[in-house]
């Protein structure tokens, strides 16, 4: 069994309140892969104000998108044959 057997499609981050990572399959079907965690650390990186919480939420979404992109890039890289 390989990671590619689980992630058979692209990984997308749901930044609209769910903070979940989804596997979007070839036919558009979705399956939850993981949940974004770490709010305790992220919220403490910003001032404890309304604006600070909004900035923290934006930061969390950027981080989630970055992680999803990194997974997709690695999956794509491992699918290509190695050429020298």
| Per-residue pLDDT tens over the stretch 36-84 | 988 889 999 999 999 999 999 999 999 999 999 999 999 999 887 666 6
Q: Is residue 84 part of a domain?
A: no
Q: Is residue 11 part of a domain?
A: yes
- Domain with 48, as residue range(s), is 3-79
Give the chain's end-to-end CA distance (angstroms, integer). Answer: 27
Q: Is residue 17 part of a domain?
A: yes
- What global pTM score does this model have? 0.85
CA dihedral 77, 79, 80, 83 (to 10 degrees): 90
Domain count, the chain: 1
Mean pLDDT, residues 7-22 taken together? 90
More confident residue, 15 or 19: 19
Q: Is residue 16 part of a domain?
A: yes
- What does the block give as tokens for 13? 């981050």
């Amino acid at each position: 069994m390989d990671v590619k057997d689980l992630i058979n499609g692209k990984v997308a981050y749901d930044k609209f309140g769910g903070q979940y990572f989804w596997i979007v399959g070839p036919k558009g079907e979705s399956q939850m892969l993981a949940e974004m965690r770490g709010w305790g650390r992220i919220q403490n990186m910003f001032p404890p104000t309304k604006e600070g919480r909004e900035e923290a939420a934006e930061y969390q979404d950027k981080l989630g998108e970055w992680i999803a992109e990194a997974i997709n890039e690695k999956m794509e890289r491992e699918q290509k044959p190695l050429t020298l």
